[in-house]
Amino acid sequence: MATIEIKVAGTSSTASLLWARICKECGQQHEGQDSHLYEYQDEVDDELVCHICLQPLLRPMDTPCGHTYCFHCLSNFLKEQDFCPVDRQRLQLHQCRPSSLLVRNLLDKLIVMCPHHAECQQQMQRCELQPHLQNRCPAFRRLREEAEKRKRPAWNELKGRKGEGESSGDAKHSAAPSRNHTRDQPEPGLINPAYEEIEEDNTPLRSSLVAEANVVELFREEPEEELGFRIVGGKDTPLGNIVIQEIVRDSLAARDGRLAPGDHILEVNDVSLASVPHARAVAVLQQPSVLRLTVMQEKGFKSRDPRSDQQPSSSTVTLMKSQRNEPLGIKLIRKSEESGVFILDLLSGGLAAKDGKLRNNDKVLAINGQDLRHGTPESAAQIIQASEVRVNFVVMRPAETPEEGGSSRDGQHSRGSRRAPETQYFRRHSTYMKDPPGGFSSQEKTVSLKKEPRLSLGITIAGGRDCRSRLPIYVTSVQPVGCLYRDGTIKKGDILLSINGVDLTQLTYSEAVSVLKAQAAQSQVVLCVIQTLSEDSEEDPESANKDELDPVDDARDDILNWTPLWTRWLGLPSHMHWCRDIVLQKTNNESWGFSIVGGYEESHGQQPFFIKTIVPGTPAHFDGRLKCGDEIVAVNGATTVGMNNSSLIPMLKLQKNKVTLTVVSWPGSLV
């Protein structure tokens, strides 16, 4: 047995610790690239100790030669050396694999003490420390609340700072945040009157928008594994910052659960993303290693009036089982339009139904301290089955509106249930036409060639009227076996307009495939395409060198995996856009819950309006259809083309209970 020497971050002056420097996973202060620190209460077996740091293993990795190390320790060692530290056999990181589930479980069960033991003397298994800190530790909660108070000034203080002529400045994207990520000054474009509440007598008003900088580490078990989220923004776009648009279901990021749509990525492995183009940010996020992301996360508005409870809110429900294996009587589901776990039904006579506090359509945020904001019904069921007699739920539901009444027990009064069952798309109206954002453009190309009737065009495609974002048909690969490859005009990412005069822009994917096959059988083919261009474009990191791969494998990989970067869509002409109307509703003078950038500026000319931030706990957030990076085409049918920031903001503020936003949505770049 080994006696472990514990590194302890000072706790005598806990109140003075900088919140931004405290690790949100282990609760200690340590450098970002250093391993987590724990205060182990028992001796640890030598077999569970890393031979590099001589501490209990963290993210254990097994080498082919039979040794086990912490992932951080081994990856840092192999940056300088190319052999195993113990037997010096030749070794590379990609040859190593995560240790068995048995070893990881043994490590998770090691007993540790809360690092804030001056105020909290709790002991627990190592795997339970992070949920303890986030949900139960009084010292950690106090530090977080103190930090939140310093994040932003009160809303009326913000108003006092603004001059009458400064509203248009709110639309400009912000400069690079400082390394300490304090929010003493509001970020332009992040707080703006697009979601400022209107003060009236006796109206509860949420005073400040709470945000905090956090560090999230993601570890790819396989070098090619996707992180599982989509991003928008970049210095070459009106958004400026890199923003997470969407978390992909069942992905690495979804399983981790700490990232969320709307998070601004400030740094990756200490590399600032504050002033990099979109394509460069994608390349940085695709590094085949552990990624340490510094993100700014909006936490929602903090109410100055505790009686203001008309907003959708979270609540805690505790169910007590008479014995460990007693079923709760809850059916859980996932929804296609929103990530997370929802209650479908409470079985009559079951424990949950008898308790009466959970309802149908409640969103389950956590169970027993384990985050399920991006979880699955399966993972929720496992947590419930592994629990003892007490099961703690944290759930969220929208508040009832007056017209819905308070007597409904079936949970069908949520805002989500009022949505139209099917989204209706339509072509962008002539009054909504505009030029692409500055730096983006497009050009049409026509290819006319004669060919043998049996000779394939040699392209693969994706998109179509039936795809999720109503994307046009675009080329995903150009194969060396086809006639278009030899011609060289058609490139990956080009958007198909027509073939031999047959329009391809309003077809489903299957219809487009059929038309292309039929027309390709002709001896002469005339193909019209659009290529989008960007002044600051870098080589697409996903497409580099793919044309040199084996043609059969390349076609399969492209069809399944390749998608264009978000910036490729920005140069598309307006007449190619498909729009949809999103109706938001609210019941009082609350914020709509989104910020905007764009509009007319003397220095940049006319820029489209984009959604930059969606604030948790607001109508835009709970509706779930607006996404960061969406372009606002019209408000209540009035075009935004030609407007400046100071014109659009009052229009949004004047909408008391209902607003119709006409938007164009492009899928963010997948990393």
Task: Centre a 10 Å sphere on the Cβ of residue 570 and count the other Cβ atoms it contains.
Answer: 26
State pLDDT tens for residues 194-252: 444 434 434 444 445 567 788 898 888 777 788 999 999 998 888 888 999 999 887 88
Strand partners, 98: 61
Q: Check whether residue 23 and residue 142 sit in a common domain.
A: yes
pTM score of the predicted model: 0.59
Residue partners of 430: CB distance under 8 A and separation at least 6: none
pLDDT digits (tens, 9 = 90+) for 620-659: 887 888 999 999 999 998 888 888 877 888 888 888 788 9
Residue where the block lists tokens 């384990």: 370
Tell me the C-alpha distance between 124 and 3, whole Å: 19
Q: Is residue 403 part of a domain?
A: no
Cα 524 from Cα 412, distance rounded (Å):
58
pLDDT at 41: 92
CATH code of residue 619 = 2.30.42.10
602 CB neighbour count, 10 Å cutoff: 7
Q: Name beta bridge partners: 450.
A: 524
Average pLDDT of the segment spanning 483-499: 89
pLDDT in tens, 269-323: 888 898 899 999 999 998 877 888 999 887 665 544 444 434 445 678 999 988 8
The per-residue DSSP string of 127-188 comes to GGHHHHHHHT-HHHHHHHHHHHHHHS--HHHHHHH--TT-GGGGGSPPPPPPTT---SSPPB
Q: Token match 């930090």: residue?
A: 147
Does 406 fall in a domain?
A: no
Tokens representing residue 276 in the block: 């990099």
Domain count, the chain: 5
Are residues 120 and 45 part of one domain? yes
Position of tokens 């992905």? 251
* C-alpha span between 20 and 22 (Å, rounded): 6
- Both 596 and 484 in one domain: the answer is no
Verify that 581 and 636 share a domain, yes or no.
yes
**DSSP category for residue 402:** T
Parent domain of 109: 16-148
Q: Once rounded to an integer, what is the mean pLDDT over residues 561-571?
A: 86
Task: Return the DSSP state at 275.
Answer: T
- Tell me whether residue 528 is in a domain: yes
Identify the CA nearest to 482 among candidates 454, 449, 458: 458
Q: Is 177 exposed, middle or buried (0-12, 13-18, 19+ CB in 10 A)?
A: buried
333: left (phi over 0), alpha (psi -120 to 50) or beta: beta
Q: Is 399 helix (H, G, I), strand (E, B) or coil?
A: coil
What is the model's pLDDT at position 486?
Answer: 82
**Same-domain pairing of 582 and 476:** no
CB atoms within 10 A of CB 395: 23
Closest listed residue to residue 207, CA positions, set 302, 102, 125, 113: 302
CA–CA separation, 460 vs 556, rounded Å? 9
Does a structural domain hold residue 483? yes
Cα radius of gyration (the chain): 27
In order of 403, 468, 506, 620, the CA distances from 660 in angstroms are: 20, 21, 25, 12
In a domain, 197, yes or no: no
> CA 655, 420, 587: angle at the middle one, nearest 5?
35
**Spatial separation of the C-alpha atoms in residues 48 and 4, rounded to whole Å:** 11
pLDDT in tens, 371-383: 787 778 888 888 8
Residue scoring higher pLDDT (79 or 605): 79
CA dist., res. 243 & res. 351, Å (int): 42
The secondary element (H helix, E strand) that includes residue 107 is helix 101-108
Residue 235 has a CB neighbour count (10 Å cut-off) of 19
The torsion of the CA quartet 254, 260, 261, 264, rounded to 10 degrees, works out to -130
Q: What is the DSSP string of 432-447?
A: G--PPPTTEEEEEEEE
- The tokens of 552 are what? 């059969």
Measuring CA to CA, which residue among 337, 400, 339, 241 is closest to residue 580?
Answer: 337
**One domain for residues 336 and 225:** no
pLDDT at 604: 62
Last residue of a domain, one of 148, 172, 205: 148
Question: What is the per-residue pLDDT for 233?
Answer: 93
Predicted confidence at residue 602, as pLDDT, reads 54
User: Lowest mean pLDDT: which of 32-36, 111-115, 595-599?
Assistant: 32-36
Contact 640, 633 (CB under 8 A): yes
Tell me the CATH number at 76. Answer: 3.30.40.10
What is the rounded (10 degree) CA torsion for 154, 160, 163, 167? 30
User: Of how many residues is the chain composed?
Assistant: 671
- Regarding whether 42 and 124 lie in a shared domain, the answer is yes
The two three-digit tokens of residue 651, written as one number: 């229009």
Lowest mean pLDDT among 176-180, 296-300, 423-427: 176-180
CA 3 to chain centre: 42
Check whether residue 630 and residue 658 sit in a common domain: yes
Q: What is the mean pLDDT of the chain?
A: 77
Which of the listed residues 98, 122, 148 is the one where a domain comes to its end? 148
Domain identity same for 83 and 119: yes
DSSP 350: S
Are residues 578 and 455 part of one domain? Answer: no
Classify residue 203: in a domain, yes or no. no
Q: Is the pLDDT of residue 555 over 80?
A: no
> Would you say residue 142 lies in a domain?
yes
* Average pLDDT score over residue span 8-15: 38
Indicate whether 93 belongs to any domain.
yes
Check whether residue 280 and residue 349 sit in a common domain.
no
* Region 262-267 average pLDDT: 91
Same domain, residue pair 382 and 483: no
Where among 396, 430, 450 does a domain terminate? 396
pLDDT value of residue 621: 82
Reply yes or no on whether the pLDDT at 87 is more than 80: yes
CB 489 within 8 A of CB 455: no
Q: How far apart are CA 276 and CA 140, in angstroms?
A: 34
